[in-house]
Every structure is written in structure tokens, then in C-alpha cells.
Structure 1
Amino acid sequence: MRGRRVVAIIAVSVIAAVAAIAAVELIRIAGDAAEQPALADFYEQPAGAADGEPGTLVRSESLEGVPAASEAWRIMYRSTDLHGEPIVVTGIVVTPLGPAPAGGRTVLAWGHPTTGTDASCAPSRGFDPFIGIEGLRLMLDRGYTVVATDYAGMGTDGPDSYLVAQTAARSVLDAVRAAQHLDGAAAGDRVVLWGHSQGGQAVLVAAEQAPDYAPELTIAGVAAAAPAADLTALMGSHLDDISGVTIGSYAFPAFASVYGPTVPGADLDDILTPAAIAASSEMNRLCLLENLDRLHEIGTPLIGDFFAHDPTTTEPWATLLAENSAGQRAIDAPVFIAQGADDELVLPADTATFVGHVRELGDDVDYDVVPLATHSTIAYLALPALDGWLDSLD
């Protein structure tokens, strides 16, 4: 009888704990929902928004429905594009509750994977702006302030930056600076960069560029899961499949808009077929995960009829792909790269070749290949190894 009573007490305790967790989650969801009606107003840039130093804040607002034991803000901040022109970018900042250490908290700068290129695809505009930050709970529990950029051209008006390495890298670094200007974030100068896929490219290039672009920041380490690091290899591996069509529909209009005005031969009709150009406008309006079926419906008939020429061997596209790849210079900080063994988008062989290349440059790389992990699961399945690697930085 005593044993049954103990079991009953345990069962009641478990039910109570589950109910408490569910209640907290419902409160958080209600907070997210409450923000939606006035959401668009935040992303309208005021007059002169870009005027000011990179990394300074244009505006910020507190977020509701935040993760447990944290506070968070939506931010609009200043940055620059690859040409050095002033731009405005948005994102979010999340920090744990409680006193910060002397000198401020380590800042974890997150680079998100592909969500699309339309302004509406910005993660900070989502119903739950925290859900896509892979490892957020881990980082908050480590005492980090987390900043997550939307990248330029998403969230608010700005140049398209999809796989445009320097613009994306500057969005990442200036998001850290913006967090330092935010009262309550307690953001220090010590920075860890962490990104997945598109975000892997952004954070790797940010680490390469930081000594010149943001020398006041101390890059303690950079971690990337299945990074889109070598664009030549990435596009070359998917010239004749749906991934190549989908990625290409985002990337080549972005490159044409950025490089077309100044680089001869970098117009869209120099690299895509008329059918691809006709479809790319609609594809660019569609956010990836919410519209994957529709993107595949549009893109599947274009397989084999998307590229007018092979961009990996046709100039100026071959050079642009190479110049926007990571691995241009050594990174003066430890590097962690995770790769899923079953990834069919960023192929394991391509990542292994990239790791060999940057090791030759002098990078100190911890390379972790995770069995059974796919492109969509690698960032989560790499978290235990990433946690251990972060311990080694402290």
C-alpha cells in the first residue's frame, strides 16, 4: 500500500510539473500573439534611419512571450553593405535574468539558416521569433546574451543579402554592437558566433572580417552547422535538382541586384533561362518552410532548364561564387564545424574539403560528423558536442 501511495504522489507531482510547464508555454504563446497586430509598425524605418555609426540602434521594443528566465527585445540597427553603404537591419536580443558578470555577458551571435528572401520571411517577424534559434536554451543557460540578426533586406527595407557574404557578415557583427547599446542586455565584448547553413557562411565570414570591421570585439570562437561555406561546391552539387533551383531562385536575383549595376555580365538574363527568370519573382516572395510544397511545384518543371550556363564555370558568376565563399583568410579563433552524415543539401564531401582547405590556412578546426543527421537536424544533434566545445573556450 505504501508503494502505491508513493507512486501516486510521484504521478501527481509529474502531472503538476507538466501542467506548470504547459501553463508557462501558453502564457508565452499568448504574449507572441499579442504582439502580432502592431508588428508591421516596428519595421517601418523612420526618416534618416540609416544615419549613424554601424551598430547603433534605430529603435528597440521589449518582447512578450519570452523564453523562461529571460527578457528580450526586437531591435532595428544600423550596418553597412559590402560596398560600405549605410543600411538598416532588424533582429532580436535575448538575455538571461540575473546579474551579469563584470565586463558584461558573452554575446552569442546567431546566423539563421535559409528562411527566404522576402521581408516577411525575417525570423524576428515570426509568430514565435525564438523558435528558430537552434540551441537558444543552451546559450541562455550558459549565461550568454543571444543576438539574432534577420540579415539585410529582410524584416525591413534594405539590399538583398542572400549568400552575399560580406553584407551578411556585417549584419552579424553590427547586431553584436547593437546589443551593447541596449539597456538591460549586459552585452560584453567577448563574442561567440554560431550559425547553420546560410548562417554558417555568415558567421564564418564574420569571423574572418572581424579584425578589420569590428576590431573592438573579441571573437572567442566560431561554430557552424552544415555551413554554405563553399558556394562553388554547393551550386555545383545541385545544378540539376530541385535544391539547385530553389537556392538559385533566391541567390541569383540577389547577386544580380547587388553586382549587376557594376559588374559586366552579372545581370540575371546572363545566367538564368527565360523560364527561370519568369518564375523567380514568385519564388522570391515565398518563405521557404511555409511554402516548400509550392516552391517545389514551381521549381520542379525547371530542373534542367534553370541555368542558361553553368555558374561555377561562367564568368563573372564563377568569381562571384568564389569571392562570396568562406575560407578567404585564416580565422584567429577556434572553429567548430558540424556536418550531418546524411545531409543531402550541404554534402559531407564538400564540407570535408572545405575543412581541409581552412586547416591549410591555419584554422584550428574541431570537425564533428554526426551519424544519421540531415541538413534540417544537424544543428540540434550537434548541440552536445557544441556544448563541450564551448566549455573548452572558457
Structure 2
Amino acid sequence: MGWNSWNCWGNTVSHEKVMASAKAILESGLADYGWSYINIDDGWQGLRGGKENAIQPNRKFPDMKGLVDTLHSMGFKVGIYSGPWVATYAAHIGTQCDNADGTYDWVKKGLVNENYRMVDPSGKLTREQLWYSGKYSFARQDARQWAEWGFDYLKYDWNPHDWFSMKEMHDELQKCGRDIVYSLSNTALLPLAEEYVKYANCWRTTGDIRDNWRSISGIGFGRNSSWAPYSAPGHWPDGDMLVIGNVGWGRKYHYTNLTPDEQYTHITLWAMQASPLLIGCDMAVADKFTKSLLCNSEVIDINQDPLGYAATKIYGDNSYATYFKPLEDGSIAIAMFNLSESSKKIGFKPRAIGVIGDKITIRDVWRQKDITVMTNDRDRFDTEVPPHGVVLVKVSPGYTKERPAGSRR
């Protein structure tokens, strides 16, 4: 759980913007709910140098170690970004290179701006032309530098993934002398599923998320759901950063295009699927509603449940979907999503989902309120769900350890 700079600032991220969001998370009390990572995405890179000949920061980050130390002193862990290509998606230098000395031909030609991002006024060289594996890898040098600065998390970004690059950086992080979370991006490949489990702590299951219903529903009800069997403590399928609050990717800064109900669905899906939760908005201007979505301790508990199970779909069609997630305390989280454009009743029978008893409590998790106690497990619980919305409940007890008495048929 934490914050990432990309969805808000894109490659315009800077020391000042990172610190503003970190201070806002601390001052708003979000850190008390477990939001603990501050991750710097693409846009920090300058040239290679230093004792490791590793990537050094550009002028937007004049003292990277000082920044990391400050964030650590505030109680945060800190993340950094790179990728195994010659250049990253934002056209900064990557972990690989065509020259053994770590210099880059387009930099020598002056095709960079003041922050060493590739820019060719003629248009002949595009960033897409630089998205390839180079002759020489500097994975060892870069991993050592990140460890020296004190980073706790690495987002390593390219597509399609290849086994060699994935394992190479895993091995260098293991040897760098610091415990660093290894997060892969983007569009994970199902044939590599068992390899992700071996070598990565989390992996993005999709391309970049956008703040619209088609994007969040396509990820949550589609691609991310297929990764449920591989979710467990230590390795997590990642649905991408959250698109609530003020976003814009550094280009068109705006309040999210998701409706309030769609935002509830967004957070609920990610919580039920045990996806890493990374805030993507400008926390310095986050409104009360955005903060309320991020500060519901019962929703967070479902996401962070120690069992680490990702929810599975048990009912549904094109108009609705009901997801089921066992929790460590023996209770069950049930999320009822309305995929349609009109209000819809959705429900379940406790016995049909394996909950048996004569005192079954149904708790509305978002409202943090018990809403009914069912005395007959064959009765049906129904609730009205708004368009593109969700009702998230906790059903307890899921089972009992008491000796049975009388008929339970």
C-alpha cells in the first residue's frame, strides 16, 4: 500500500511533487491506515555516473539519497522505477545500453531536453524506436546504486516480459545488500505465471489503467480475475494504480472521470482481488470523498487479509457479478457488483455459499454497520445495487469450531 507518482504527474515528477504528496499522506492520517510506500515512477533519470556507473538523477532530483532519507525519517518506504530496455516508456535511459561505457548515442547527439529525456525536434527518432534490449546490461550497477540510496521497492517496466531480464534483475536485487520489493510491469504473460511467483513480489496484469468505466471494469472483471490462482503472500497480481482523485498523467490534470459508484467498485475490486493498492492521485489536493475511500479500515483489512486469497466469481452474467473471498477470521467477504446501466437487486443464500447456521450476521463493509442477522441459512439476502456500483458485505461466522448439536440438514 502506498502512493505512485505516474497517474498524476507522469514524467513531470519532481522532488517537490513527491514531498508534497508524502506530507499530505502523513498530515491526512492515511499513513495510519497502512499507506506506507512513496514510489517515484519514470522521469527521475539523468545520465550514468557515480562509483557504480549507474543511472544518476536529473536536475529535478538534486539529492536522491537526501530525499530517500527524509522520507524514511517520516516513516515511509521508498520506491524507484526503471526497465531493461535501452530507454524507458518516457524516453529516459534504461538499465541496458548499446555501449560498454554506459553512454547513449542519442544523448551524444544532443537529442535530449534539460532533464535528459529523449527529444528529437525533427521527429526522425521516436521513443518507440528505443524500446529494445541493448548489448550491455547495467542491472548490477543500478541495483547497487538503488541499495546505496536506500530504496525499498523497484518497479521494473517493459512489455512483453522475458524470463532472462526478469530473473537477471531479481538476482541482482538479491545480491545488492538491501531488501527491495520487486514489482514487474506491465501486461504479465500467463505462460510465465509460475516464474512470476518464483522471482517477483508483484506483477502488473495489464497495460496502463485509465479513469473510465471501460478500463477499470475490463481490468478488474477481466484480466486481473484470471490471475486469482497465483495470489498468495509474497506474490501478488497487480491491477495497476488507483484512478481516484486528481489524475492526469502529467498532461491533462483533472478530477477522475469515474462516478462515485464506479470509484467504490474500483476500490472494492482491488481489495477483493488482493491487488497491491497504490494511490495515483495528487494527495496534496485530495478531497474528503477521495480520502474516505482510502481510509476505510474494514475494506483495507479485506485487501490485506493474511490468507492472501484473491476473490473468485461465484455468480454473474453480463449484468452483474458476485465475488467470494474467504478471510482469516473465518468470515466471508461477498462483493455484489452491478455491471448494468440501471439499479439492480443482487443477493445470495448463505447455505448456497457454504455458510450454515441460525445466527448469520451480514455487515455492510463500506458503511461499517451490521445490517441484518439471518436466522435461516436458506433464506435469501438481497440488496439494491446502483448502476456500476457495489455492495460489499462480510458474512460471519463463515464456520464454527463448536461441536454440532441436533440436525444441521
TM-score for the superposition, normalised by structure 2: 0.29
Please state which structure has a larger fraction of its residues in strand: 2
Please state which structure has a larger fraction of its residues in helix: 1
**Whose radius of gyration is greater, 1 or 2?**
2
